[in-house]
Amino acid sequence: MKIKVMFLTLLLIPALIAGCTKQNTDQNNTGQTGTTPAVTTPAETTPAGPTPDAVTSASIVDTEEAFIKAISSNGTWIIAIIKDLSINQELSLDGEFKNGKTDDNGNEIIQRKIALYSQDNNRNITARYTLTAPKLTINSPQASIQHGTFKGDLYVNVSDFELIDATVDGNVYFTAEEAQSTFKMDEASKVTGKQELQK
pTM: 0.72
According to DSSP, the β-strands at 130-138 and 125-128 are unpaired
In the chain, domain spans:
1-35, 42-197
Q: What is the mean pLDDT of residues 141-148?
A: 98
Contact 115, 146 (CB under 8 A): yes
User: Alpha helices, DSSP H only, in the chain?
Assistant: 2-33, 64-70, 177-181
Question: How far is C-alpha 3 from the geometric centre of its chain's CA atoms?
Answer: 70
| Maximal CA-CA distance, the chain | 104
Q: What is the mean pLDDT of residues 181-191?
A: 97
Contact 159, 178 (CB under 8 A): yes
Structure confidence at residue 1 as a pLDDT band (50, 70, 90): low
Greater pLDDT, 119 or 20: 119
Instruction: Write out pLDDT tens, residues 73-120.
Output: 999 999 999 999 999 999 999 999 998 899 999 999 999 999 999 999
pLDDT recorded at residue 58? 76
**To the nearest 5 percent, what fractions of the chain are helix, strand and coil?**
25, 35, 40
Distance CA 173, CA 112 (A): 19
As a whole number of Å, the CA-based R_g of the chain is 27
In DSSP terms, 117 is beta-bridged to 128
Q: How many helices (H) and strands (E) does the chain have?
A: 3, 18
